[in-house]
Amino acid sequence: MPTGENTVMMRAHATSGLDDTARDSGPTHREPLLDLFPETIFARLTHALADLAETARLWRLCWTLGWLDVKLRYRGSVLGPFWLTASTAVMVGAMSFLYTALFHTSVAGYMPFLSLSLVLWNFMASIVNEGATCFTAAEGMVRSIRLPFGLHAARCIIRNVLVLLHNVVVVVVVFAIFHVWPGNRLIWATPGMVLWLLDAVAACLLLGTLGARYRDIPPIIASLMQIFFFISPIIWKPDLIAKGHEWLQLNPFYALIEIVRRPLLGGHAGLHLWHLAAIDSAALWLAALLLFMRVRSRLAYWI
Amino acid sequence: MRGDRTQAGVEVRDLHVTFPLYHGSARTLRRTLGRMRSSRFEQDQQQRMVVQALRAVSFTLQPGDRLGLVGGNGAGKTTLLRALAGIYEPVAGRVTIRGEINALLDTNLGMNMELTGRENIGLRGMHAGLSPRRIRDIEKDVQNFAELGSFLEMPVRTYSSGMVIRLGFALATSIRPRVLLMDEWFLAGDTSFMLKAQGRLEQLVQQAEILVISTHMLDVVSAWCTRVLWLDQGMVRMQGTPAEVLPAYMADDQPSEPAETD
């Protein structure tokens, strides 16, 4: 056997793409080589990063899987994925009338806030909830073909971004009815959304790994998210808290929600909120990367 | 074009694969273990229960080799195929595969039963990182071989089991892997399909590719394989040509362990 390459690397993906262009590039193209053995510490990092790079290379597959997930859920129904829009609309409508009565506020002041909050929270909560099962749910794929694990995380994120886009329709309609328009401020929500997507990748890797190893994690997370729904400023505005505002800062969802929601409601997120969001995200990414590095090669055994 | 490339190859050196038993009940297992003669269950340094699915497996395959894996249920055949496919990374030892791999391991091949045949072909092509143009070629090829007709536009769950197998087989072989790993399920096809499948497999192997097939059907092994690896309780019991190994394998009363490792 030729063992020319002594590099301690897992070169290329098993079924890595030798499409026509690659084939025609001749001898300069590197052979697909799968070389596996127990990892050294350094290899753990490079393999984890290679996993993510391979996921990026398979973006078309990620996209198709995510899109098919949404399409399949509603295949054969009349409204199709617009059932998402419809159920969110009903939810926003019902809750608006209940809570304007409870909080003694005007519908015009509350409904745009609630519609945006609910739609954003639904996205965040389903990333967290579905992220915890993103590897175990892909059991069939994991056990039949070697794929980067980041792919299952990306699929989960793309699916939920598509759901979010269907729900955004509700927000746009509510904003139009009440003539709330963020205008130029819309731009300021973009960095927040980018941070959300980055955090979503880390959350899926972290929770997906934990969920694969400990099967109690997904139900625990589901009930935690229930609690966070009420203790985070989703259905109530953060300025309703008169005393103890600093406690709110311990809630990781608070800053993350605000950096996207405030600009969209025509306000300013402010540097302080961005600091908090950056700290939360850095901690999340560090935890995700360390755990994923440590156990990536074992994930298939657990699923 | 193929001449420019290094040859396909499979090298397995001292491969160990151990499964942690996290989700089973350790206590009842331990009781069961007391009654078992097998020594494949043991505790690792952290006092976890583990199953040694593969122990010190070594072999090398050259282009043109067609390796048959034989052994009782739970001998580690499927686990070895998965380790070759890179799904299970070695706990100890080393697996080196040169050339694109394609693995037909599960009956549904990671196919989504709710999707149509055509959608599944597209997905599989994307798995392999193929360009949209190549995927269209493969669609045509699969359509011709699998003879699905208008079923190609129907969800796979409406297919008969034979049709699923034809689709899966056509798909895996149309991507032209240089190393084909195959579990025995696909042999469930009808006789006419078997003849076609054999023709197509022969074609692959003639192009200096490698086949690893796991099966209980010894006539398939003697007809298709040039080499046989006999696994017993995760260890290599014997390897060689079919003429050498199969008589010994049949003479043995095929001890099989109840625990299927996958």
Say if residue B169's pLDDT is above 50.
Answer: yes
Please indicate, yes or no, whether residues A57 and A31 belong to a single structural domain of this protein: no
A119 and A176 belong to one structural domain: yes
* Interface list for B 152-181 with A (CB within 8 A): 175, 177
- A71 and A216, same domain (yes or no): yes
A10 and A105 assigned to the same domain:
no
- Claim to verify: residue A32 and residue A171 sit in the same structural domain: no
Residue type, A243: K
pLDDT tens-digit readout, A198-213: 999 999 999 999 999 8
**Tokens describing residue B215:** 């099966």
Q: Provide the number of structural domains found in chain A.
A: 2
Give me the helices (H) in B26-72, please: 26-35
Cα B74 to Cα B233: distance, rounded to the nearest angstrom:
7
Query: A197 or B180: which carries more pLDDT confidence?
Result: A197
Closest to B108 (Cβ–Cβ): which among A1, A13, A140?
A140
Q: State the complex-level ipTM.
A: 0.79
* Same structural domain, A5 and A87: no
Give the tens place of pLDDT for each residue, A12-66: 333 333 333 333 333 334 556 788 887 788 888 889 999 999 999 889 889 999 9
Residue A111 forms part of a structural domain: yes
Give a yes or no: residue A116 inside a domain. yes
More confident residue, B162 or A27: B162
- Render pLDDT for B121-144 as a digit per residue (tens, 0 to 9): 888 888 877 888 888 888 888 888
Distance CA A127, CA A130 (A): 5
The residue of chain B with its CA nearest to that of A9 is B96
pLDDT in tens, A210-240: 999 888 899 999 999 999 999 999 988 888 8
A43, part of any domain: no
Please check whether residues A25 and A69 belong to one and the same domain. no
Q: Domain for residue A44, yes or no? A: no
CB contact under 8 A, B134 and A20: yes
pTM of the model: 0.83
Q: What is the dihedral of CA A42, A145, A59, B124, to 10 degrees?
A: 160
> Do both A165 and A267 map to the same domain?
yes
Tell me the chain B residues in contact with residue A75 when contact means C-beta distances shorter than 8 Å. Answer: 114
- Residues A123/A156, Cβ–Cβ less than 8 Å: no
Domain assignment of residue A6, given as a range? 1-37
User: Cα–Cα distances in Å, from B149 out to A184, B1, B140?
Assistant: 54, 34, 11
A110 belongs to a structural domain: yes
Whether residue A133 sits in one domain with residue A19: no
Question: Is A148 part of any domain?
Answer: yes
Measured between CB atoms, which of B11, B92, B110 is closest to A38? B92
Q: Is the pLDDT assigned to residue B48 strictly greater than 70?
A: no
B96 three-state secondary structure: strand
Statement to judge: residues A33 and A120 lie in one domain: no
Residue A131 has pLDDT above 50, yes or no: yes
CA torsion sign for A140, A142, A146, A147 is: positive
Q: How many CB atoms lie within 10 A of CB B124?
A: 26
Does residue A217 belong to any structural domain of this protein?
A: yes
Contact (Cβ atoms closer than 8 angstroms) between residue B180 and residue B211: yes
Using one digit for the tens of pLDDT, what is the confidence trace for B170-223?
A: 887 777 778 888 887 666 666 777 777 777 777 766 665 788 988 888 888 888
Interchain contact, A36 vs B262, CB within 8 Å: no
Q: What's the CA angle centered on A258, arms A286 and A69, to 5 degrees?
A: 70
Tell me, yes or no, whether A9 and A133 share the same domain.
no
Query: Are both A58 and A28 inside the same structural domain?
Result: no
**Residue A236 domain-assigned (yes or no):** yes
